[in-house]
């Protein structure tokens, strides 16, 4: 078996409810592993199969009801079904905290003592794609799930340094960095696409500010609208185009209408690459992110980017601790950086950074060029599959190795 072949290795991928990046990543990994000879089973809710189409090309799909919220009776049934499905796997890889905790329960017997799990089932890998940013009872529940994953998984991968550190602090046997690349890019849109989309939006000569993401609390959209109120005083006022859908849609729409903000909700779109080409600056105002696919897509598009300094975003744009000179400021430091970064939940800083890009065409051009250069350094889908293939082989070999 060559370094790139998996020789019939039986891999089970487990994920919960997903409408975006996690589902696309799992589909990419499943296809890549199957292409290298693995026998891949994906376990998840029926909605994920409808959205992402896992089955086919050497990948099987099994429906398991893994909701995004704790449901004790349903969870017990899901664990029982998972235990049956995973029995023949050589390695199990769960994506997300909830899926990971349920996979721990399905793969291992509970041993005496609090939150201790005996080994005996297939080795389990868990990738954490999101941080716990809620408070109160929900945070306590998810804190318990984090401890279960940390102590029950053979390997935990985090999409950002803070997640890796948290797992180590909670006693994970091994914690590392997950590679979650954006899908391979298609041909870039031409100038006609930019002109057509700007005409469709009625932008004219106004600047176009673009945000793409789920309309949910994590994405910092109330802060974006606070900044939009400041941009309304510019001449001409820019249009803030928000692409995506989610639970905050009605609330955001009502606020835009009530305050007459220069913003528009575009809903879910399949032409994000074209919208990026049509935009003057892209904004990612999130409260927390891991390795957001949209940031990678913005970099590939060579667009000026203003984003929050949270989670894995600094590393993506080359502004992590190991990527910049000592003492360099992100907002006023070397312009070779591929983005301007601002604190989360700071509308004034966000408004000021975007205005700086709009007011300085040379800065916008430098940021766009740096973004394109940075994108060439980011790992791709083959790199993600390489990482997992090596990890799976190591875990399976260690399990087969005689003790002592």
Q: Is the pLDDT at 338 greater than 60, yes or no?
A: yes
Position 18 scores a pLDDT of 80
Question: For 185-226, how does the pLDDT look when each residue is reduced to its tens digit (9 = 90+)?
Answer: 778 898 999 999 999 999 999 999 999 999 999 999 999 999
More confident residue, 317 or 140: 317
Position 68 scores a pLDDT of 76
Q: Is the pLDDT at 16 greater than 50, yes or no?
A: yes
Torsion of CA 214, 217, 223, 228, to 10 degrees: 40
- What SS3 class is residue 15? strand
Helix H or strand E segment including 76: helix 72-86
- What SS3 class is residue 71? coil
Position 139 scores a pLDDT of 79
Position 291 scores a pLDDT of 93
- What SS3 class is residue 179? coil
Mention the CATH class of domain 191-375: alpha beta
* Pair of tokens at residue 149: 């994953």
What average pLDDT score do residues 135-154 get?
A: 88
What average pLDDT score do residues 384-390 get?
A: 96
What average pLDDT score do residues 259-268 get?
A: 97
Going by C-alpha positions, the residue among 404, 397, 386 that lies closest to residue 90 is 397
Position 267 scores a pLDDT of 97
Q: Is the pLDDT at 12 greater than 50, yes or no?
A: yes
CATH fit for domain 10-181+380-398, picks 1.10.10.60, 3.40.190.10, 2.10.70.10, 3.40.50.2000: 3.40.50.2000
Strand partners, 242: 211, 265
Neighbours of 69 (CB within 10 A): 11
Asked if 10-181+380-398 and 191-375 have one fold, the answer is: yes
**Domain residue spans in the chain?**
10-181+380-398, 191-375
Position 387 scores a pLDDT of 96
Position 117 scores a pLDDT of 46
What average pLDDT score do residues 32-38 get?
A: 95
What average pLDDT score do residues 228-241 get?
A: 97
In the block, which residue shows the tokens 């995004």? 68
The answer for residues whose C-beta is within 8 angstroms of residue 39's C-beta and 6 or more apart is 8, 9, 10, 11, 58
Q: pLDDT > 70: what percent of the chain?
A: 90
């Amino acid at each position: 078996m060559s370094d790139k072949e998996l020789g019939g290795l039986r891999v089970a991928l487990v994920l919960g409810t997903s409408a975006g990046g996690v589902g696309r990543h799992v589909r990419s990994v499943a296809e890549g592993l199957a292409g290298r000879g693995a026998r891949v089973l994906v376990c998840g809710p029926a909605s994920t199969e409808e959205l992402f189409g896992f089955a086919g090309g050497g990948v099987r799909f099994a429906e398991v009801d893994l909701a995004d919220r704790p449901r004790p009776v349903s969870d017990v049934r899901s664990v029982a079904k998972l235990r049956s499905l995973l029995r023949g796997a050589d390695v199990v890889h769960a994506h997300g905290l909830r899926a990971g905790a349920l996979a721990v329960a399905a793969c291992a017997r509970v041993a005496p003592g609090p939150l201790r799990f005996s080994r005996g089932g297939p080795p389990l890998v868990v990738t954490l794609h999101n941080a716990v940013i809620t408070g109160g009872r929900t945070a306590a529940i998810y804190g318990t799930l984090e401890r279960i994953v940390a102590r029950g998984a053979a390997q935990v991968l985090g999409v950002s340094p803070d997640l890796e550190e948290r797992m180590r602090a909670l006693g994970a046997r091994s914690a590392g960095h997950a590679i979650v690349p954006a899908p391979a890019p298609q041909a870039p849109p031409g100038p006609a696409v930019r002109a057509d989309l700007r005409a469709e939006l009625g932008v004219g000569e106004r600047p176009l500010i673009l945000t793409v993401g789920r309309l949910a609390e994590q994405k910092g959209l109330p802060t974006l609208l606070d900044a939009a109120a400041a941009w309304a005083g510019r001449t001409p006022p820019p249009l803030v185009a928000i692409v995506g859908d989610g639970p905050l849609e009605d609330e955001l729409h009502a606020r835009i209408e009530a305050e007459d903000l220069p913003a528009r909700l575009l809903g879910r779109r399949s032409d994000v690459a074209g919208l990026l080409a049509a935009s003057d600056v892209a904004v990612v105002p999130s409260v927390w992110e891991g390795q957001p696919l949209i940031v990678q897509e913005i970099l590939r598009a060579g667009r000026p980017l203003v984003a929050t300094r949270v989670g894995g975003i600094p590393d993506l744009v080359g502004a992590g601790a190991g990527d910049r000179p000592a003492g360099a400021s992100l907002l006023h430091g070397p312009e070779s950086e591929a983005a301007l970064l601002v604190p989360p939940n700071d509308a004034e800083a966000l408004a000021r950074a975007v205005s700086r890009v709009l007011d300085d065409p040379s800065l916008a051009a430098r940021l766009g060029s740096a973004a394109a250069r940075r994108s060439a350094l980011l790992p791709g889908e083959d790199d993600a599959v390489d990482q997992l293939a090596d990890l799976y082989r190591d875990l399976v070999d260690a399990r087969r190795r005689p003790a002592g």
